[in-house]
């Protein structure tokens, strides 16, 4: 079933979407199986994505970016999710970390890091989660202590997306351990030949197996004070909160694209599959289940379309972004489960995309802030 184009699309964005889809299908999909087996993409994928203009699409051209808008980011995120290419997290690299630097960095920091991120020379990661601190960022234990002209960064991080290849890491650390949220700062760490920095094991995950997810360790790592993002200590928590609506909306965009792919795969399967002498699609239960899934996917697409419009005009709030994130990821898992059931036993086989979607989608309810945290954000906005 054809899905109407979002209201924010125009002719130029449609061309960009078409070319982006072809790039993912031609250049990256063929390598996904190899990447899944080795639990990470090859380092060259970042250079390739840079050459193709897929990195930092919304960064100003003066910093080497594509000069686009959030609409371009949403298209890349949607097409990457539709293609089921998880070997590199462009969302973390381009749509989140690059915007931290653009919005809070000094001119020197922007000139130093953004052009290299646009080419893939630098791979970005955000080191938030710790073994004892996930969604509760105020509880991080990693510290960045001043010593002369440097910060001494000590601590460990886990579940770090792009963790294997990242050589520019935004570390969430306490510059004042006694100040709670007001003691959190963002310190940029360039890892090349950096004493005291080491990567732990690649984490074996339920899904998204081609995406490198790692533990990181900072053993008295010395980082120039000029690498503090925002110039003033204690702004990290506020900086993170200001950028989270963008991150959560991108997760919702990906969930909508995955729902669409799941339904399309299942419709094709049920039309071809013969059961009791007739196509599976001719059975009323099949038709009703697909009708339910189509309805949910259509509602999700309309809601996310509105959220993208609000992000583009600067009116998307934390609560609405939380609604989009939790509801679309919840519905994505529900729709995929229904679609897997319609595949029967074949739906449990990893050679079928629906089985991989089932495993890949589940983390959507966890990362970017768990869905329970999303509901708390919404509830607080109702009683504020």
**DSSP of 55-84:** SSTTS-GGGTS----HHHHHHHHHHHHHHT
Token pair recorded at residue 64: 């080497």
Measured between alpha carbons, how far is 227 from 171 in angstroms, rounded to an integer? Answer: 10
DSSP reduced 3-state for 183: helix
User: Alpha-carbon torsion 118, 119, 121, 124, what sign?
Assistant: positive
User: Length of the chain in residues, anyone?
Assistant: 384
The dihedral built from the CA positions of residue 114, 18, 253 and 321, taken in this order, carries a sign that is positive
DSSP reduced 3-state for 350 = coil
Note if 44 is an active site residue.
Answer: no
Q: What is the DSSP letter of 129?
A: -
- Active-site choice (204, 247, 265, 294): 247
C-beta separation of 150 from 99 below 8 A: no
Beta bridge partners of 223: 151
H helices of the chain, in order, are 11-23, 32-38, 44-51, 70-83, 90, 98-104, 107-119, 236-272, 284-313, 318-342, 353-361, 371-383
Tell me the CB-side half-sphere exposure of residue 260, using CA atoms within 13 A.
Answer: 22
Cβ–Cβ under 8 Å, residues 324 and 303: yes
Q: How many CA atoms lie within 13 A of 274 on its CB side?
A: 2
3 state DSSP class of 19: helix
Q: Angle 282-288-293 (CA atoms, 0-180°, nearest 5)? A: 120
What amino acid positions are annotated as catalytic residues?
247
């Amino acid at each position: 079933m054809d899905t109407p184009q979002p209201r924010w699309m125009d002719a130029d964005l449609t061309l960009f979407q078409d070319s982006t889809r072809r790039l993912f299908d031609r250049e990256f999909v063929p390598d996904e199986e190899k990447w899944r087996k080795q639990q990470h993409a090859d380092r060259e994928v970042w250079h390739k994505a840079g050459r193709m203009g897929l990195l930092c699409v919304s960064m100003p051209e003066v910093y080497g970016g594509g000069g686009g808008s959030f609409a371009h980011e949403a298209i890349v995120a949607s097409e990457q999710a539709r293609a089921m290419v998880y070997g590199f997290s462009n969302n973390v690299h381009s749509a989140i970390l690059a915007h931290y630097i653009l919005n809070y960095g000094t001119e020197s920091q922007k000139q130093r890091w953004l052009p290299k991120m646009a080419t893939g020379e630098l791979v970005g990661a955000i080191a938030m989660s710790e073994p004892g601190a996930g969604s509760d960022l105020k509880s991080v234990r990693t510290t960045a202590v001043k010593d002369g002209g440097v910060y001494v960064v000590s601590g460990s991080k886990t579940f770090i997306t792009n963790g294997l290849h990242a050589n520019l890491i935004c570390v969430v650390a306490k510059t004042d351990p006694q100040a709670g949220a007001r003691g959190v700062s963002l310190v940029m760490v360039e890892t090349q030949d950096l004493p005291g920095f080491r990567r732990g094991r690649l984490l074996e995950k339920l899904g998204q197996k081609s995406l490198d997810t790692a533990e990181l360790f900072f053993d008295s790592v010395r980082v120039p004070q000029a690498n503090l993002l925002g110039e003033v200590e204690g702004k990290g928590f506020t900086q993170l909160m200001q950028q989270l609506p963008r991150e959560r909306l991108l997760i919702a965009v990906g969930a909508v694209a995955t729902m669409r792919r799941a339904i399309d795969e299942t419709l094709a399967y049920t039309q071809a599959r013969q059961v009791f002498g007739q196509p599976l699609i001719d059975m009323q239960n099949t038709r009703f289940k697909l009708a339910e899934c189509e309805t949910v996917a259509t509602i999700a697409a309309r809601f996310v379309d509105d959220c993208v419009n609000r992000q583009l005009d600067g009116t998307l709030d934390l609560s609405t972004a939380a609604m989009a994130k939790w509801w679309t990821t919840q519905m994505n898992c529900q729709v995929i489960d229904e679609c897997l059931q319609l595949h029967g036993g074949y739906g449990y086989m990893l050679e079928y995309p629906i089985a991989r979607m089932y495993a890949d989608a589940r983390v959507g309810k966890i990362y970017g802030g768990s869905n329970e945290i999303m509901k708390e954000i919404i509830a607080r906005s109702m009683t504020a």
